[in-house]
Structure 1
Amino acid sequence: MTKIYHNPRCTKSRQTLALLEEHGIDADVVRYLDQPPSEAELTEIIRLLGIEPKQLVRTKEKLFAELGLKGAELSEAQWIKTLADHPKLIERPIVVHGNRAAIGRPPENVLEILR
């Protein structure tokens, strides 16, 4: 099963979804701004990506500064809660394919997990 955490307003997200379709992958599209992932889902996504929670944060997003997160020293659990509470801060798009995941920046990154 393949899932893409998608923002239709994002060019990279649209390109990644198109790339999946070009490769015959019928992905479950999750509009994560409308259906934010839970803390448990985020924890699993981060594990599959093999990154720290803070690496999934869009630090250039205006909301990041508005929330006073620049220079913040948060625990992994606190970063995950922040992402769950403010899905706009989640890096996008994220593709989960089986037990692997990739961030589609650039979109071709997801081809690695489809093999």
Structure 2
Amino acid sequence: MSVTIYHNPDCGTSRNTLAMIRNAGIEPTIIEYLTTPPTATTLVDLIKAAGLTIREAIRQKGTPYLELGLDSPSVTHQQLIETMVVHPILINRPFVVTPLGTRLCRPSELVLDILPQPQRGAFTKEDGERVVDENGARIKHG
């Protein structure tokens, strides 16, 4: 069984997602995309498989998004992809690929929808939010 996470270890959402994958007893392939960015083709495939538009997959906060003029409607999809490959900080995170699908896991508990194995116990995110109970069941909030 293959599970891959496009991971940024400095990102809490990415760390929580990785921890939930491991809480299911899965050791994923970890791609630290800031140091090993996906190719343009891989990035397009990830975005399509996740059911997103290219603009939905771009991270604006804490990136050179505005400085690069990417907010302009005249910037083409191809230009956006090429810029994301050159500046991988623009890739929203984390993308996770499993046999059950591909998701941009924001919030991190979206990974639970595509994990091929159940959670093995309780899970609490770094901010203290409980998302899985002691029986491995997802806690519904709201």
Q: TM-score, normalised by structure 2?
A: 0.75
What is the match of residue 103 of structure 2? 102
What is the match of residue 43 of structure 1? 44
Cα deviation, residue 2, structure 1 = 0.8
Unpaired runs of 5+ residues, structure 1, are: none
Q: Which has the higher contact order (CA 8 A, sep 6+)?
A: 1
Larger mean Cα displacement after TM superposition, 66-75 or 44-53: 66-75
What is the match of residue 122 of structure 2? none
Superposition misfits of 4+ residues, deviation over 4 angstroms: none
Q: Determine if contact 1:5/1:29 at 8 Å carries over to the other structure.
A: yes
More helix by share: 1
Q: Determine if contact 2:84/2:90 at 8 Å carries over to the other structure.
A: yes
Structure 1 vs Structure 2 CA RMSD? 1.4
Q: Which has the larger radius of gyration?
A: 2
What is the match of residue 77 of structure 1? 78
Q: Determine if contact 1:52/1:76 at 8 Å carries over to the other structure.
A: no
1:11 paired with 2:7, answer no
Give aligned-pair identity as a percent: 38
Distance in 1 of aligned mates of 2:100 and 2:114: 9
Q: Determine if contact 1:48/1:99 at 8 Å carries over to the other structure.
A: no
Distance in 1 of aligned mates of 2:86 and 2:99: 26
Q: How many residues align?
A: 115
Cα deviation, residue 99, structure 1 = 6.0
Q: TM-score, normalised by structure 1?
A: 0.92
The aligned amino acid for 1:68 is G
Cα deviation, residue 72, structure 1 = 3.8
What is the match of residue 29 of structure 1? 30
